[in-house]
Amino acid sequence: MQSTMIVRAVEQDAEPLTALVQGSGAYRGPSSGYRVTADYIARHQVFTAVDPAGRLLGFYALVLDPPELDLIFVADDAQGMGIGRLLVEHMVGRAREVGLTDVRVVSHPPAERFYRHLGAERVGTVAPLPPKVAWERPELRFTVAR
């Protein structure tokens, strides 16, 4: 993890980011067709975690208005290496840099513990959105210290 770099995504990263999402063991079913587009990367704060050889380990997308961690994925073979923590810490730092005071997260239920371990507080529950999402999701919030 110490040699992992966090870099701003560029439009050419759309396909590799899409492949990471679609290949993730965390999501199956309706989300497996999700696409990260070049336009999405241009409109939002998207950052990638890469190893020294340039291999994509993970990424996150921070939406500024309203403030939300929209996406965060770590490659299945990079799980447990601290990449998720590194991405969240970078996201909180980035949120601070752009003047945000908090960042909302609507979590995949199995990831709630991860976010809470990193300092997010549960603030509610988001109802299902069938047919795309058939389950309740925890709503959390990271407070961004100034």
Q: What is the pLDDT of residues 63-120, one digit of tens each?
A: 999 999 999 999 999 999 999 999 999 999 999 999 999 999 999 899 999 999 999 9
Q: How many CA atoms lie within 13 A of 74 on its CB side?
A: 18
Residues 135/109, Cβ–Cβ less than 8 Å = yes
CATH topology of domain 5-143: Aminopeptidase (3.40.630)
Average pLDDT over residues 130-140: 88
Q: How far apart are CA 110 and CA 122, in angstroms?
A: 14
Instruction: Say what the pLDDT of residue 32 is.
Output: 58
How much is the pTM? 0.92
Instruction: Say what the pLDDT of residue 28 is.
Output: 61
Q: How many CB atoms lie within 10 A of CB 59?
A: 27
Instruction: Say what the pLDDT of residue 2 is.
Output: 64
Instruction: Say what the pLDDT of residue 70 is.
Output: 95
Q: Which helix (H) or strand (E) holds 68?
A: strand 67-74
Q: How far apart are CA 112 and CA 115, in angstroms?
A: 5
